[in-house]
Amino acid sequence: MNNKSLIDWPTFIGAIAILLIVAVPLITVPEFGDMAITAANSFVTHNFGVLYLLIGIVLFIFLIYIAFSQYGRIVLGTKGVQPEFNTLTWAAMLFAAGIGSSVLYWGTIEWAFYYQSPPFGVEPGTREAIEWAVTYGIFHWGPIAWAIYCLPALPISYFFYVRKRPVLKVSEACRPVLKKYADGPVGTIVDVLFMFGLLGGAGTTMALATPLIGAGVSHFTGIEPDIVLYTIVLIIATTIFAISSYTGLRKGIRMLSNLNLWLSFILLGFVFIVGPTVFLSQSMINSVGLLADNFFRMSMWAEPFKDLGPFERTGFPEDWTIFYWAWWLVYAPFVGLFVARISKGRTIREMVVGTLVYGTVGCLLFFGILGNFGLYLELSGQYSVIETMNNVSTEAAIIETIAQLPLSPIFVTIFVVLALVFLATTFDSGSYILASVTQKEIDDEPIRWNRMFWAIILATPSIILMYLGGLETLQTASIVGGFPLIFIMIMLAVSFKRAVNADMPKTFGTKYYIYPDERE
Ligand code: NM2
């Protein structure tokens, strides 16, 4: 097949068309676009918030069940297959793909939001609020979130490596449910919806990363961060990830992921050692305990009495947990496709447990070290993060937190470079996956020009909207864009179960006798 006939044109054009249909009114009539999206967002989160909460906890339990049941023993590949990447590289790639610069942003500052507006009606600034402050961030970046990421990897990796279908697509992974419709317009809609969601989610990421990197640059230069600076940041970031995606999985993507890992180790290790080590470890373990104790409560807190009783509603679940699950959801098929792609030769159990454990621990370290460091500065009176956040900007508060470290110019630089690399490693794998989805078949890697094309498309909506001052709109759009994904996730889970049940010998039945016959 030649280059062009490898492209799946309906999906390719469908994704661009839907992007234009949404982007053009936003650009031409921004006030209307903003209103419509805000309305859609509050409609979805208020009425269907419970669905988001439910899908989170249900997927988590489902994955644990799959990993530890007989299905967990299935190897992704045929006899003699070896994992393509060693475990450290695998974990680094997984983390770097699924997590962008937002972990630096929220990891450092999320506590400050909860400290001021705590959950469960707790009084702001109290002892209890302080305990929840770091814990809630760890929860929003914890096992449920990683379960959302991992689920699509189950059917996708199974079809790709076990059933050997040379297609990396969400619609393909839904085949046991969609049946023959997987090939027609319904399949295309599933793929396009996921691509649209990803473009929205990526916009959210860019919306946070650009001002953060901008604040870092302005810390050194004193230049007021403005649109010109942001544009330069965006162009540099896009160039880096486009090159990385162009050189492919085994070169650019792998190399940047490893760089990402090492820079993270250096930053976190340094803050941990020269920072208030005892406080950091105490507060981290404290949070883990509080989280373990309240795991189900937090995952299902829907604030049901909000508008009825004498209590003021906080809107916490919609603003945070539901927003987060939606954000993880829009990224999930992409991360699932990527995790599947790199997991050849591993067992399902290794893939699931690896994703949940490495992912959660990785985020725990960012939130536990950077977040608690900020909290320490605030509580000890050394530096008020909250004051800068409320009076200057959130980004400035993040950069100034890091700037309180000894040797601060070095570490602010590492922080900013790391933000750039984190961004690049999410967007390079993102464009790699978008390219895979728009191809009928993939030989080894998707076609190069196709990868480059999607790298540029991924960056475009954020650039255009930034000029129009509509990045927040895009952020909200990602939540709305995530709604159909709830149903796609259910389809993916059912598809996986159907496929493995159809293929597996019923070795264990429902009961298993060690000695099948009577013994004396
Ligand atoms: N998630 C992990 O911006 C980023 O870090 C990408 C964000 C979904 C909250 C992913």
pLDDT at residue 183, as a whole number: 86
CA distance 234 to 478: 19
Residue span of the structural domain in which 175 resides: 3-88+151-308+406-503
CB 159 within 8 A of CB 175: yes
Q: Is 413 exposed, middle or buried (0-12, 13-18, 19+ CB in 10 A)?
A: middle
CA distance 18 to 16: 6
240: in domain: yes
- CA 453 to each of CA 199, 230, 448: distance values in angstroms, whole numbers, following the listed order: 13, 22, 9
386: in domain: no
Residue 509 has pLDDT above 60, yes or no: no
Residue 178 has pLDDT above 80, yes or no: yes
Tokens of 184: 């027609």
3-46 tens-digit pLDDT: 667 888 888 888 888 877 777 777 777 777 777 777 888 888 88
Instruction: Report the pLDDT averaged over residues 478-494.
Output: 87
364: in domain: no
Residue 508 has pLDDT above 70, yes or no: no
- CA 106 to each of CA 49, 120, 140, 477: distance values in angstroms, whole numbers, following the listed order: 22, 21, 10, 20
pLDDT at residue 205, as a whole number: 83
190: in domain: yes
CB 383 within 8 A of CB 401: yes
CB 170 within 8 A of CB 152: yes
Q: Which helix (H) or strand (E) holds 256?
A: helix 254-274
Tokens of 126: 């109290």
Alpha-carbon radius of gyration of the chain: 23
pLDDT class of 376 with cuts at 50, 70, 90: very high
Instruction: Report the pLDDT averaged over residues 214-237.
Output: 87
416-442 tens-digit pLDDT: 999 998 888 888 888 888 888 888 877
Q: In this structure, what are the phi and psi dihedrals at residue 83, rounded to the nearest 5 degrees? A: -60, 140
Residue 478 has pLDDT above 70, yes or no: no
Buried b (16+ CB within 10 A) or exposed e, 163-172: eebebbbbbb
CB 224 within 8 A of CB 393: no
pLDDT class of 299 with cuts at 50, 70, 90: very high
505 Cα to the center of ligand 1, angstroms: 39
114 Cα to the center of ligand 1, angstroms: 19
Tokens of 60: 């988590």
Ligand 1: which of 101, 104, 205 to mutate, judged by most atoms within 8 Å of the beta carbon?
Answer: 205
Residue 352 has pLDDT above 90, yes or no: yes
CB 284 within 8 A of CB 370: no
332 Cα to the center of ligand 1, angstroms: 10
Residue 347 has pLDDT above 60, yes or no: yes
101 Cα to the center of ligand 1, angstroms: 7
CA distance 466 to 305: 38
pLDDT at residue 3, as a whole number: 67
CB 137 within 8 A of CB 106: yes
117: in domain: no
175: in domain: yes
Ligand 1: which of 102, 325, 420 to mutate, judged by most atoms within 8 Å of the beta carbon?
Answer: 102
Ligand 1 pocket check for 327: Cβ under 6 Å: yes
37: in domain: yes
Ligand 1 pocket check for 249: Cβ under 6 Å: no
CA distance 113 to 134: 10
Ligand 1: which of 101, 103, 105, 141 to mutate, judged by most atoms within 8 Å of the beta carbon?
Answer: 103
Total domains in the chain come to 1
265-286 tens-digit pLDDT: 999 999 999 999 999 999 999 9
Tokens of 328: 């993880």
DSSP string covering 369-435: IIIHHHHHHHHHTS--HHHHHHHT-HHHHHHHHHHTSTTHHHHHHHHHHHHHHHHHHHHHHHHHHHH
Ligand 1 pocket check for 161: Cβ under 6 Å: no
443: in domain: yes
Ligand 1 pocket check for 59: Cβ under 6 Å: no
pLDDT class of 512 with cuts at 50, 70, 90: low
